[in-house]
Amino acid sequence: MDIQSIYQKTILFAAHKHSEDNQLLPDSQLPYVVHLSNVAMEILIAANNTKEFDINFATQIALLHDTLEDTTTTFDELELEFGTEIAKGVSALTKNNTLPKEERMLDSLNRISFQRKEVWAVKLADRITNLQKPPKSWDSLKKRKYKNEAETILEHLKDANLYLENRLRSKIEEYEQYFD
């Protein structure tokens, strides 16, 4: 299947799942699928700047990366629709809500480390996309914690994708403009 067909099939699945409870971007009336397409855009551009990069696999992971965490989608459903490797990649990117909040990111980063580099790249692309203007409700401490978490992601997933590493490093620096 060509990348365009893969993209269409996957984004339609993800858009349907994220629209079930009318998920929107924070501080916006835009549908959540905008975030997913932005993460996929980062992956598509990174693929053009990266040798030996499975664009089909990475694009599917990018579009599906929040389905297990934020929708009623199950691992089995993802596995049936997209295959075991996709389901495992999305699962690694999913925070374990049974753990204390402060342990969830490191747990996810550890699980990501056992996946293909494309999964690592999606985590970098996700944080790049999320380092936009923070929600109005975030205080200075929350913003700083989010920046620190981005630095932790960068440190743990270095050597995943040089293009995305440099993008994330730059976005972290730009994010400092939002500190009070």
Active-site residues: which are they? 69-70
Q: Is 95 helix (H, G, I), strand (E, B) or coil?
A: coil
62 CB-near residues (< 8 Å, 6+ apart): 36, 39, 40, 42, 43, 122, 125, 126
Place of tokens 């089995």: 76
* Alpha helix ranges (H) inside 65-161: 67-70, 75-82, 84-93, 101-112, 117-130, 140-156
Residue 19 CB neighbours (<10 A): 14
Distance CA 34, CA 129 (A): 10
